[in-house]
Amino acid sequence: DAGITQSPRHKVTETGTPVTLRCHQTENHRYMYWYRQDPGHGLRLIHYSYGVKDTDKGEVSDGYSVSRSKTEDFLLTLESATSSQTSVYFCAHSGGGRAYEQYFGPGTRLTVT
């Protein structure tokens, strides 16, 4: 158990609908990350946060927004879901410092029909 949970674990939604994925950590870590994993692409960073209300874009941020109002929660929102956003989404957290080892949640499988 990496002290991190994601909800929901599975979701099917229709194109054009908004979707919010939640990540919750219990380690009081400063850094949190959202990735998507697709066959042939490995993990790609969507957005990350380096503190409450401090966020920045990753490699594939278009179509996604994030919010972090509390240390323990990091939300990922798809404003208007598209089929290309069908993927498995992973949240991770890190204590930061020189190591930057990351600890991952179990993932959310999102299907956009």
Partner 1 sequence: SQQGEEDPQALSIQEGENATMNCSYKTSINNLQWYRQNSGRGLVHLILIRSNEREKHSGRLRVTLDTSKKSSSLLITASRAADTASYFCATLFGNEKLTFGTGTRLTIIP
- Does 101 bind partner 1 (CB under 8 A)? Our answer is yes
Contact region for partner 1 (CB under 8 A) — 10-18, 60-68, 69-77, 88-96? Answer: 88-96
Q: Residue 65 CB, nearest distance to partner 1 (Å)?
A: 18
**Distance of alpha carbon 38 from alpha carbon 86, whole angstroms:** 9
Q: Which of 29, 94, 110, 112 binds partner 1 (CB under 8 A)?
A: 94
Closest CA to 88 of 72, 61, 68, 112: 112
- Does 74 bind partner 1 (CB under 8 A)? Our answer is no
Closest CA to 86 of 12, 22, 5: 12
Q: 46-56 burial by CB neighbour count: b if 16+ within 10 A, else e?
A: bbbbeeeeebe
Residues in binding contact with partner 1, number by CB under 8 A: 27
Q: Check if the beta carbon of residue 48 is closer than 8 Å to that of residue 32.
A: yes
Residue 82, H or E segment: none
Q: Residue 44 CB, nearest distance to partner 1 (Å)?
A: 8
Site string for partner 1, 23-62 (x = CB under 8 A): --------x-x-x----xxxxxx--x-x-------x----
Owner of token pair 């959202």: 34
Binding site for partner 1 (CB under 8 A): 2, 31, 33, 35, 40-45, 48, 50, 58, 90, 92, 94, 96, 98-107
